[in-house]
Amino acid sequence: GNSVTQMEGPVTLSEEAFLTINCTYTATGYPSLFWYVQYPGEGLQLLLKATKADDKGSNKGFEATYRKETTSFHLEKGSVQVSDSAVYFCALSPNYGQNFVFGPGTRLSVLP
C-alpha cells in the first residue's frame, strides 16, 4: 500500500540554522508529493508540492525535490526563523483527486 515515513522529531534548532526534515514514501505509480505545515492554533496549510519526478517545490525559503530513484521528498531551508516553528507533514496523493496519505508529522521548534 501507500505510505509516508518522516522523521518524527521533535527538532529543535537555533535561529538561522539549516533545516532538513527527511521524508520517504512508498507508492505504486507516480504520486504527487506535498509538504503541509500546521502553525500553532491554525489549520493545515500547503507549503509546497511536486507532481512529477525531479520537480522542485519551493515556498517561503523552503525547498523539496521529488526524487523517484530514492523515493524521497526531503524538506530543506537554509536559515530558519522563530516563525517557522510548527508541525510539518509530508504527504502523497496516489493519483489526482484521491485521498492523501500523510506522514506522522515533525514538530520543529526554532529558538531565538
Measured from the CB of residue 84, what is the shortest distance to another protein in angstroms?
Answer: 19
Measured from the CB of residue 45, what is the shortest distance to another protein in angstroms?
Answer: 7
Q: DSSP states of the chain as a string?
A: --EEEE----EEEETT--EEE-EEEE-SS--EEEEEEE-TTS-EEEEEEE-STT-EEEETTEEEE-BTTTTB--EEESS--GGG-EEEEEEEESSTTSPPEE---EEEEEE-
Q: Which is nearer to another protein, 32 or 80 (CB)?
A: 32
Q: From residue 44 to residue 83, what is the string marking binding to another protein with x (rule CB under 8 A)?
A: xxx--x-x--------------------------------
Measured from the CB of residue 83, what is the shortest distance to another protein in angstroms?
Answer: 18
